[in-house]
């Protein structure tokens, strides 16, 4: 066990040592004294040597008997050998010319003559605590170094990480301090530094090898994706080929080695070109002369309706052939939708009207009760009720003959879209104004059932998911 001090004394000074031991104990100083610390049937010399090794400082009690004692002289020599800081304490008048040279060079703290016990104890405590942290580290490090020495200097007993950093700093700070680091201290720290350097090099090598394997695996994956893309395109599975080529492109783009491998970049580019150019369109509907605002399929999927900024509505077959153009709106048509039976098409326009059309292009009726742009329109599941919403947030319910059933404020601003639930019981409306991005749920009487705040995306997209 590591202690603050080791006390070397003559047995004839035992009474003084007991008093000193008691006083130091009260001051929270741990002391190794042979009457307490030598176990029965233990070689007392080995025990004393171990006590000196594990003590931070060495106190020598000076008296005529201790100066003449060969045992005390042996203890002093062992302490000097292990670089222990010696603190001489005078308890009885002694011929100091006979004092051990290793002790004589230090200032003596006297507990006899005119010095009172308390004053001398204070000086002793100051001497013990001077550079105590340095001495404590010396002792701890010496214990570790000796263990390393006994274990044939095996690397498992070396210092690591923060322990080594602390030892390095201690060694640097030891220039003007006592006890001086021993050769064993220095060898132990140097061996720990060399081992840590080797470990860093070993881990660096392992990392580099792992990184090379990762890069090789990424390159092989990209090449495999390119080959897979080419195979899909060759077997007329162009979309699958495009997906594989895109995967290869994304992986290559995010690779930290991509700038160094132009040959793989060429493979990826070739796969992408082949996949993109190999895709065949199913169809293309051409004829609108301005931005297409809305489109929908008829319930049987045989007709497509689309609208544009010029106010025209076009009806198409799925093979791309144009059936007819419906003229009637004088401004942009924002929304078109078929009735559930597919016989009627409803349109909502910025000319502030809603129009109903037969599929043959005949205008059935025009609803003109809105006072601003109409953005959204929908049929109930039974086709008997039509709901529309304008940019001022007003929602209107209509019958097919144009009769206005009711009108109410759905949103304070920015009304965009409306849809009935499949069971016709609820109408959902949405607003995309920055100040009101909400979904609202209504019954047929125009009573608000629930409001949901939209934090991301468009309310029209959210309504589409609900429909």
pLDDT tens, residue by residue, 414-453: 778 899 998 888 999 988 777 777 889 999 899 999 988 8
Beta strand 333-338 pairing with 322-326: unpaired
Whether 139 maps to a domain, the answer reads: yes
Pair 262, 298 in one domain = no
Q: What is the mean pLDDT of residues 72-96?
A: 91
Domain extent for 224: 204-278
Q: Worst-scoring range by mean pLDDT, 30-34, 167-171, 200-204?
A: 167-171
Nearest Cα to Cα of residue 351 among 378, 315, 390: 390
Q: Looking at the domain assignment, is residue 198 inside a domain?
A: no
**Pair 10, 157 in one domain:** yes
Q: What are phi and psi of 385, to 5 degrees?
A: -120, 140
Between helix 238-253 and helix 183-234 the angle, nearest 10°, is 160
- Statement: residue 236 has pLDDT above 60: yes
Percent of the chain whose predicted confidence (pLDDT) is above 70: 91
* pLDDT at site 38: 52
* Whether residue 271 is found in the same domain as residue 306: no
ω into residue 415 within 30 of 0, thus cis?
no
Q: Do residue 166 and residue 30 come from a single domain?
A: yes
Last residue of a domain, one of 136, 162, 187: 187
The pLDDT of residue 457: 47
Q: For residues 137 and 220, state if they share a domain.
A: no
> Edge-to-edge strand order for the sheet containing 385-390?
374-379, 385-390, 394-399, 404-409
**Domain end among 247, 278, 309:** 278
> pLDDT value at position 61?
94
The dihedral region occupied by 355, where left means phi > 0, alpha psi between -120 and 50, and beta the remainder, is beta
Instruction: For residues 145 and 224, state if they share a domain.
Output: no
- Are 89 and 61 in contact by the 8 Å Cβ rule? The answer is yes
Q: Is 90 exceeded by the pLDDT of residue 363?
A: yes
pLDDT at 280: 57
Same domain, 9 and 106: yes
pLDDT at 458 over 70: no
Place of tokens 């947030």: 393
Residue 193 placed within a domain: no
The answer as to whether 359 is a domain residue is yes
The region of weakest confidence among 54-63, 127-136, 235-244, 352-361 is: 127-136
Clarify whether residues 100 and 235 are in a common domain: no
Q: Tell whether 459 is covered by a domain.
A: yes
Tokens 């507990």 sit on residue: 111
Assess if residue 194 is contained within a domain: no
Instruction: Based on the fold, state whether residues 180 and 209 are members of the same structural domain.
Output: no
Question: For the chain, how many residues are written?
Answer: 467
- Does 401 map to a domain? yes
HSE toward the beta carbon, residue 303, CA cutoff 13 A:
22
Name the pLDDT band for 183 (thresholds 50, 70, 90): confident
CATH of the domain at 426: 2.130.10.10
Query: What number is the average pLDDT over the span 56-65?
Result: 92
What is the CB neighbour count within 10 angstroms for residue 18?
12
Q: Which residues of 380-410 are buried (b: 16+ CB within 10 A; e: fewer)?
A: beeeebbbbbbbbbbbbbbebeeeeeeeeeb
Say if residue 258 is in the same domain as residue 322: no
126 and 16, same structural domain?
yes
Q: Which pLDDT band holds residue 135 (cuts at 50, 70, 90)?
A: low
pLDDT for the residue numbered 65: 94
402 and 347 part of one domain: yes
pLDDT, average across residues 242-269 = 86
Q: Is the confidence at residue 47, as pLDDT, over 60? A: yes
For the chain, what is the mean pLDDT? 86
Residues 312-318 have a mean pLDDT of 91
Number of independent structural domains in the chain = 3
C-alpha angle with apex 21: 20 to 22, nearest 5 degrees?
90
- Give just the sign of the alpha carbon dihedral 64, 69, 75, 78: positive
Q: Cα dihedral angle (263, 268, 270, 274), rounded to 10 degrees?
A: 170
Decide: pTM greater than 0.75.
no
Comparing 2-11, 107-116, 328-337, which segment has the lowest mean pLDDT?
107-116
Whether residue 195 lies inside any domain: the answer is: no
Phi then psi for residue 166, to 5 deg, are -65, -40
């Amino acid at each position: 066990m590591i202690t603050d001090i080791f006390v070397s004394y003559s047995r004839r000074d035992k009474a003084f040592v007991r008093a000193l031991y008691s006083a130091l104990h009260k001051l929270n100083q741990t002391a190794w004294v042979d009457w307490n610390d030598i176990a029965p049937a233990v070689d007392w010399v080995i025990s004393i040597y171990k006590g000196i090794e594990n003590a931070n400082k060495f106190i020598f009690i000076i008296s005529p008997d201790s100066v003449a004692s060969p045992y005390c002289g042996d203890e002093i020599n062992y302490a000097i050998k292990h670089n222990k800081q010696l603190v001489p304490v005078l308890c009885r008048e002694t011929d100091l010319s006979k004092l051990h040279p290793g002790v004589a060079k230090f200032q003596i703290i006297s507990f006899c003559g005119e010095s009172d016990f308390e004053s001398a104890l204070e000086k002793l405590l100051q001497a013990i605590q001077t550079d105590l942290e340095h001495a404590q580290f010396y002792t701890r490090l010496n214990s570790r170094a000796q263990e390393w020495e006994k274990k044939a200097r095996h690397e498992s007993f070396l210092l690591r990480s923060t322990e080594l950093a602390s030892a390095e700093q201690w060694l640097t700070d030891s220039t003007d301090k006592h006890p001086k680091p021993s050769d064993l201290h220095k060898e132990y720290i140097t061996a720990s530094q060399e081992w840590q350097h080797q470990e860093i090099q070993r881990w660096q090598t392992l990392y580099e090898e792992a990184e090379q394997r990762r890069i090789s695996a990424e390159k092989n994956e990209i090449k495999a994706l390119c080959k897979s893309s080419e195979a899909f395109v060759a077997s007329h599975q162009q979309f699958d080929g495009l997906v594989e080529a895109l995967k290869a492109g994304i992986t290559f783009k995010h690779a930290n080695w991509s700038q160094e491998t132009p040959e793989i970049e060429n493979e990826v580019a070739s796969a992408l070109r082949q996949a993109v150019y190999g895709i065949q369109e199913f169809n293309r509907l051409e004829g609108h002369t301005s931005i297409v605002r809305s489109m929908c399929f008829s319930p049987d999927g045989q007709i497509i309706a689309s609208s544009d900024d010029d106010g025209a509505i076009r009806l198409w077959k799925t093979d791309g052939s144009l059936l007819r153009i419906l003229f009637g709106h004088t401004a942009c048509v924002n929304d078109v939708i078929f009735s559930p039976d597919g016989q009627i098409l409803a349109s909502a326009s910025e000319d502030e009207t809603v129009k109903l059309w037969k599929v043959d292009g005949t205008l059935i009726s025009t609803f003109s009760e809105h006072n601003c742009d109409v953005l959204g329109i929908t049929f109930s599941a039974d086709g008997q009720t039509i709901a529309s919403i304008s940019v001022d947030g007003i929602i209107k319910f209509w019958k097919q003959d144009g009769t206005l059933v009711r009108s109410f404020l759905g949103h304070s601003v920015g009304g965009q879209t409306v849809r009935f639930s499949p069971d016709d019981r609820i109408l959902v409306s949405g607003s995309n104004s920055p100040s009101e991005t909400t979904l609202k749920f209504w019954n047929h009487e125009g009573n608000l059932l629930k409001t949901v705040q939209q934090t991301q995306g468009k309310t029209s997209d959210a309504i589409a998911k609900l429909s």
